[in-house]
Amino acid sequence: MLHLAMRVLFFCFILLLTNLAYAQSPGMNAAPSSSVHAPKLTLTLRKSRQSPSDLEVGGELEGLPAGTTGFLTRDDLLALPRVDFNVTGDTNFADSTRITGVRLEELAKRIAAAPTSALAVAICDDKYRANYPRAYLAAHHPVLVLTVNGQPPAGWPKDSQEHKYDMGPYMISQANFLPAFKILSHSDEPQIPWGVVRLEFRNEKTVFGSIAPRGAHTTDAAVQAGYRIASQNCFKCHNSGAEGGQKSGVTWAVLAAMAEATPEDFRAYIRNPISKNPQAQMPGNPSYDDAAIGALTAYFQTFRSAAKP
């Protein structure tokens, strides 16, 4: 009888341990982890803004009608898998700086309708736009910055220019930028905007198709070189219809008209904008050689030439 009682007690002890292990294991009834690094399987956009620091999101989004705009709070973004690294070579910072944020590729994977082919577009409060084609994403892995040296936007340094503006609510950076291509004298440039208020995921062909060269000289080598340079550089501040940045206020059509009617003025404007417009905020491109300037001129001229009867 004693032997039987001991066996029963042993069996009950094993059963108790099993139940405790089951209760502590992650399952459908387990309490959710409080760790902000725990990944979510899906990312649901909020229909309305909860705070001025919310990130506005639009474009072609998974499961939503075209043109839908939603919002992500900082807490939503902090709950995503993040990267943490020292960034060097970013002109927005004077010294080596510690960055924490979410890769644009991670966001695309969770909310873009076509995550493996989507173009990411960062739109700033001054209507500047930075475009991130798939090739750029793969080469540089840009990050939507959430903290700088452990601080939220209120503790970030001011912009490096004379205005000393706040650089929040969001900015984009990358660990160590190395140019992935060179076209004539134009090297691949880091896309590191600050003051980012909206992020879009778009069809790359649609966006860049708005500035594709026109007419009979579309395939000319110089025209294609000019197109690629303009796509990365000029398109950030100059718009073609609804596409492209609107910070400048000078449209693609105006640039095309200048390139066609007064090519010498156009070339001077690219190298040193203030020489043609004392109020110009556009940075000059003194490093562009004659071949690069000629390629841009030939490219912009295709728009006017194609419009001629």
Residue-wise pLDDT for 13-49, tens only, equals 443 333 433 333 333 222 233 233 334 346 899 999 9
Q: For 232, how many CA atoms within 13 A lie in the half-sphere containing its CB?
A: 21
Q: Is the model more confident about 299 or about 307?
A: 299
User: In this predicted structure, what is the pLDDT of residue 309?
Assistant: 53
Tokens of 290: 């004659």
Q: Is the model more confident about 163 or about 18?
A: 163
Say if residue 272 is in the same domain as residue 294: yes
Say if residue 155 is in the same domain as residue 238: no
Assess if residue 251 is contained within a domain. Answer: yes
Angle (CA) 116 74 207, round 5°: 35
Assess if residue 6 is contained within a domain. Answer: no
Given pLDDT bands bounded at 50, 70 and 90, which one contains residue 254? very high
In this prediction the pTM is: 0.84
Assess if residue 28 is contained within a domain. Answer: no
Say if residue 142 is in the same domain as residue 66: yes
Say if residue 200 is in the same domain as residue 239: no
Say if residue 59 is in the same domain as residue 201: yes
Indicate which CATH number applies to the domain containing 263: 2.60.40.420
User: In this predicted structure, what is the pLDDT of residue 285?
Assistant: 95
Q: Read off the pLDDT of residues 74-110 as tens digits, 9 standing for 90 and up.
A: 999 999 999 999 998 899 998 889 999 999 999 999 9
Handedness of CA 175, 176, 181, 183 (dihedral sign): positive
User: In this predicted structure, what is the pLDDT of residue 117?
Assistant: 93
**Hey, how many other C-beta atoms are within 10 angstroms of the C-beta on 223?**
22
Number of structural domains the chain divides into: 2
Give the lowest-confidence range in 67-81, 157-171, 184-198. 157-171
Assess if residue 7 is contained within a domain. Answer: no
Q: Are 121 and 200 in contact (CB under 8 A)?
A: yes
| Boundary of a domain, candidates 209, 239, 266 | 209
List the domain range (segments joined by +) for residue 244. Answer: 214-309
What integer best gives the mean pLDDT of the chain? 87
Give the lowest-confidence range in 24-38, 102-116, 177-191, 246-260. 24-38
